Amino acid sequence: MTGHVLGVEARPRSGGWISTSAQAFFALMERDLRVLRRELIPFVARTAMQPFLFVFVFAYVQPKIGQGNRGFGDILVPGLLASAIVLQGIQAVAIPLVQEFSQTKEIEDRVMAPMPVWGVAVQKIVFAMAQSLLAAVVVFPLVYTIPLDKPDLHIRPLVLLTVVPLGAVLSASLGLLIGTTVNPRQIALVFALIVIPLTFLGAVYYPWDKLEAIRWLQFVTLINPLVYMSEGLRAALTPQYGHMNYFGVYGGLLAGCTACLYFGIRGFVRRVQS
pLDDT tens across the length of the chain (274 residues)? 344 444 444 444 445 667 788 888 888 888 888 888 888 888 888 888 888 888 888 888 888 887 767 667 788 899 999 999 988 888 888 888 888 777 667 777 777 777 888 888 899 999 999 999 999 999 999 888 888 888 888 999 999 999 999 999 999 999 999 888 877 777 777 777 888 888 889 999 889 998 988 999 999 999 999 999 999 999 999 998 888 999 999 999 999 999 999 999 999 888 888 7
DSSP-derived secondary structure for 120-142: HHHHHHHHHHHHHHHHHHHHHHH
What is the model's pLDDT at position 2? 40
The structural domains of the chain, with segments of one domain joined by +, span 40-273
Q: What sign does the dihedral 37-39-45-46 (CA atoms) show?
A: negative
Q: Is 182 helix (H, G, I), strand (E, B) or coil?
A: coil
What is the model's pLDDT at position 18? 72
The secondary structure of residue 147, as a DSSP letter, is S
Q: Are 144 and 150 in contact (CB under 8 A)?
A: yes
Q: Are 261 and 180 in contact (CB under 8 A)?
A: no
Q: What sign does the dihedral 193-195-196-200 (CA atoms) show?
A: positive
Burial (Cβ within 10 Å: 0-12, 13-18, ≥19) of residue 215: exposed
What is the model's pLDDT at position 160? 94
CA 74 and chain centroid, separation: 22
Contacts of residue 269, defined as CB under 8 A and 6 or more positions apart, other chains included, come to: 117, 118, 121
Q: Are 151 and 73 in contact (CB under 8 A)?
A: yes
